[in-house]
Amino acid sequence: AQSVTQLDSHVSVSEGTPVLLRCNYSSSYSPSLFWYVQHPNKGLQLLLKYTSAATLVKGINGFEAEFKKSETSFHLTKPSAHMSDAAEYFCVVSLSGGYNKLIFGAGTRLAVHP
């Protein structure tokens, strides 16, 4: 069965410092993995997606994630945090290997301090 575990429920960084949001996945076959962001009182927006092409995936707003099969990880990073990055971030695995049923992690709330 596929699942994702987000290792931190809350992460706090200062503006201009790097961001690391950690995600481990479990999948019986090659997964499709995603990161979504949810700003307060807003819907979910796709940040980036991995679908068995390049292992380093670049997304919107300067975010990127690296798929590491040996570590079953798909951590999200950004070199320099901005105040507007404060939001909840979800690591997601696709149940069917495509874009069909999405299984969401519990979420990581990112706080950015001036």
Binding site for other proteins (CB under 8 A): 36, 42-46, 49, 90, 95-96, 98-107
Neighbour-count burial of 63, counting CB atoms closer than 10 A to its CB (0-12 exposed, 13-18 middle, 19+ buried): buried
Nearest CA to 81 among 41, 42, 113?
113
For residues 91 and 26, what is the distance between their CA atoms, to the nearest angstrom? 12
Nearest CA to 11 among 92, 78, 104, 68?
78
The residue (of 42 and 82) whose beta carbon lies closer to other proteins is 42
Q: Least separation, in Å, of the C-beta of 16 and other proteins?
A: 29
The residue (of 39 and 69) whose beta carbon lies closer to other proteins is 39
Q: Least separation, in Å, of the C-beta of 11 and other proteins?
A: 17
The residue (of 15 and 104) whose beta carbon lies closer to other proteins is 104
Q: Least separation, in Å, of the C-beta of 25 and other proteins?
A: 15
The residue (of 45 and 61) whose beta carbon lies closer to other proteins is 45
User: For tokens 């950690």, what's the residue?
Assistant: 22
